[in-house]
Structure 1
Amino acid sequence: MKDYLSLLIVVCLLTGCEQARFNDDITKAYGLPDRSAEYQDLITRDPKNLSEDELYNRVLTLWDTPYRELNLPTSAGTTHIIISGPADGETLILLHGMNADSTMWYPNVKALSKRYRVYAIDDILGPGKSKLDQAEDSIETVIDWYFEIFDTLKLEKTILVGASQGGWIATNLALSKPERFHKLILLSPAQTLTWLEPSVDILSNLLFAINPQRDGLRNNLATLSSNVDGIDQLYIDQFFRTITTASTSPLLMDMKPFDDKQLAALTMPVLFLVGDDDLFNNQDSVDRAIKIMPCVQAEIISDSGHFISVDQAELVNEKIVEFVATKQNQHLTTCKKII
């Protein structure tokens, strides 16, 4: 108990005691305030009358696994992280997509947290609870910021999981300091293996971004998801608020596919999953990954769009867990070459 109280003091100093939020079981065990009723109340309220943070907390009622939130001070600003899973589990770092935040992992976090220590980080340049405190907003700033987080939390030899823009950022991180990462998992990464091809869906997304209207939201989601009805309404409400209020990502113009030399330098085991109706990837993406990456498992997941971690959550969760559980020497036996 004494050790726990010491840890709690450290957490309070880093984040503010009100920012350390625990699951009901931990709340009962240590007498911390039970705030679950507060979050449940958010579900019944009109989303139009909720703040961005309240909409965020509303989606966290779907988390369905023990977790806590940390607001970590960094040189770039305040970093918001949701932490779950066993403290001695292998570390998984989740990087969300553009126009999203860490709550997008609600269909995945329970399965991943059973065995692994999961850190879902809100991008400092995107929506969510992380707050940028400086004018610099380049990819170099983002890379330095992530490694500052990893150093502060003493996260070594971790597994990076990136979706959409998060996959592009994860690839940049893995190329920057490959020795820091054990494995790399890319879920429908945007502008990473191939260029985005013009299409009716792309045009539809652009038009919706210019003038987002609630009655056009379902059609917009249908360009990203093969199973819109499978997306929880709490997340849809938050997603709509985000795309109507968030600024365009400052990294958007920097995002371009990596060249052959860069992809060949990713010698750690890589899991590359894309949907068969993915806005940003296709068979060409998979073929290029298999041809160039030294140690890649690349697959197309049927009946899924760009929101692959939602459309086929159970299957994607299984593939991630299986991939992470595979021993390093077993991966090496299937690699084309070791550089």
Structure 2
Amino acid sequence: MSIGEFKNDKARERFHAVYGRLLDQLWTGPRETFDLPTSFGTTRVYRAGPPSPDPVVLLSGANGNSLMWHRYIAPLARRRTVIAVDTVGEPGASAQSAPLTGAEDGARWLEEVLAGMEATAAHLVGCSYGGWLALGHQIHRPGRTAALTLLEPAGFADPGRRFYTWLIAGGLAGLAPRAWRPWLSRRVGNSAILETELMELGRASIGFRRALPPARVFSDEELRRVRAPSLFLLGERSTLHDARQVADRVGALVPAAEVEIVPGAGHALPTDDPELVVARILRGAPA
């Protein structure tokens, strides 16, 4: 299996120019930057707040990076130390050097990141693919996770035509003139296209070849191994899975889990209802 990388130097330079500018523009508060060595490559991590064994750790969805969380950093950092991670193998400031072949490798990578940041009781917050990585870590490398908040996590259904149609429609809508996007956002059910800066970063990442393993569906036996207190936040109108079916399955298999289906929200839950998501994260990770 290959590694995620830019197709050429020009694509890499174009992306990093946009990434660096938007990082300074969107992350306006204090931050520390770390480049952690792992078995799968150097991982870029940003921290807001002092060193802490129990930080809130933010993991983005596929094709995303730390900037996905730019609206979350300030409200979370007022209460907790916050760590935002550029997942290795995604377009960001991390540099992958070895392939990840499955959930076990993802768990090993995340374990090494948490160890590098001396986090022994982390509150993992994962969106979509990041939620799959967080769950995989809890299943295969338990011990450093005190709690989980999972936003529309992958790993409960194979993406189907409905999801890919939603994804493509959102991508095309993101290319439209800014004045059209509010209407298009309602039409395609994707509030993320209203994030102008992230749409710009997404266009800059077109030259990136992603090579991470697909988010395979977790087995019943794996889900029964999730012991950390967990909050599953699901969009009522999700195109990735049937939220009610996921809620029923989690309720039957994960005793420490709470499930909330957010009315009117879809797979773009972090931009559909950021105030609710911030409140739920802080409820699960009290100061």
TM-score under structure 1 normalisation? 0.71
Q: What displacement does 1:299 show?
A: 0.7
Q: Which structure 1 residue ranges, 4+ long, deviate > 6 Å from structure 2? A: none
Instruction: Evaluate the alpha carbon distance shift between residue 221 and residue 73 of structure 1 in structure 2; reply closer, same or farther with a 3 A threshold.
Output: farther
Tell me the equivalent position of 1:150: 114
Q: What displacement does 1:212 show?
A: 10
Give the whole-Å Cα distance in 2 for the aligned partners of 1:123 and 1:221.
30
**Equivalences for 1:98-117 in 2 at 5 Å?**
98-117=62-81
Give the whole-Å Cα distance in 1 for the aligned partners of 2:49 and 2:189.
29
Q: What displacement does 1:205 show?
A: 3.2
Tell me the equivalent position of 1:245: 207
Q: Does 1:174 align with 2:138?
A: yes
Q: What displacement does 1:141 show?
A: 3.5
CA radius of gyration, larger in: 1
Contact 2:125–2:281, Cα closer than 8 Å, also in 1: no
Tell me the equivalent position of 1:301: 262
| Secondary structure in 2 matching 1:239 | helix
| Secondary structure in 2 matching 1:106 | helix
**Given the alignment, which residue of 142, 167, 177 partners 1:205?**
167
| Secondary structure in 2 matching 1:325 | coil
Give the whole-Å Cα distance in 1 for the aligned partners of 2:223 and 2:80.
27
Contact 2:122–2:145, Cα closer than 8 Å, also in 1: yes
Give the whole-Å Cα distance in 2 for the aligned partners of 1:221 and 1:122.
29
Q: What displacement does 1:189 show?
A: 0.8
Q: What displacement does 1:184 show?
A: 1.2
Instruction: Evaluate the alpha carbon distance shift between residue 129 and residue 222 of structure 1 in structure 2; reply closer, same or farther with a 3 A threshold.
Output: farther
Tell me the equivalent position of 1:316: 277
Unaligned runs of 5+ in 1: 1-47, 327-339
Give the whole-Å Cα distance in 1 for the aligned partners of 2:149 and 2:282.
11
**Given the alignment, which residue of 245, 250, 260 partners 1:284?**
245
Alpha-carbon displacement from aligned partner over 1:306-327 (angstroms, at most 9, x marks no partner): 121122111110111012229x
Contact 2:88–2:96, Cα closer than 8 Å, also in 1: yes
Alpha-carbon displacement from aligned partner over 1:40-96 (angstroms, at most 9, x marks no partner): xxxxxxxx9x82122222332222332122222334322111111243473111111
Q: Does 1:121 align with 2:94?
A: no
Give the aligned residue type for 1:57.
G
Tell me the equivalent position of 1:262: 222
Give the whole-Å Cα distance in 2 for the aligned partners of 1:101 and 1:222.
26
Q: Does 1:163 align with 2:127?
A: yes
Moved more, 218-227 or 175-184: 218-227
Instruction: Evaluate the alpha carbon distance shift between residue 97 and residue 269 of structure 1 in structure 2; reply closer, same or farther with a 3 A threshold.
Output: same
Give the aligned residue type for 1:320.
I
Identity %: 26
Instruction: Evaluate the alpha carbon distance shift between residue 74 and residue 178 of structure 1 in structure 2; reply closer, same or farther with a 3 A threshold.
Output: closer
Q: Does 1:72 align with 2:36?
A: yes
Give the aligned residue type for 1:113.
A
| Secondary structure in 1 matching 2:234 | strand
Tell me the equivalent position of 2:4: none
RMSD between superposed Cα atoms in Å: 2.9
Give the whole-Å Cα distance in 2 for the aligned partners of 1:151 and 1:53.
27
Alpha-carbon displacement from aligned partner over 1:275-330 (angstroms, at most 9, x marks no partner): 1222213221122212221111111112322121122111110111012229xxxx
Contact 2:147–2:284, Cα closer than 8 Å, also in 1: no
Q: What displacement does 1:248 show?
A: 3.7
Matched pairs, number: 269
Contact 1:205–1:223, Cα closer than 8 Å, also in 2: no
Tell me the equivalent position of 1:272: 232
Q: What displacement does 1:165 show?
A: 0.4
| Secondary structure in 1 matching 2:114 | helix
**Equivalences for 1:220-235 in 2 at 5 Å?**
223=188, 225-226=190-191, 228-229=193-194, 231=195, 233-235=196-198
Give the aligned residue type for 2:157.
T
Unaligned runs of 5+ in 2: 1-10
Give the aligned residue type for 1:203.
T
Give the aligned residue type for 2:38.
T
| Secondary structure in 1 matching 2:240 | coil
Instruction: Give the number of the structure with larger relative contact order, counting CA–CA contacts within 8 Å between residues 6 or more apart.
Output: 2
Q: What displacement does 1:186 show?
A: 0.6
Alpha-carbon displacement from aligned partner over 1:20-45 (angstroms, at most 9, x marks no partner): xxxxxxxxxxxxxxxxxxxxxxxxxx
TM-score under structure 2 normalisation? 0.83
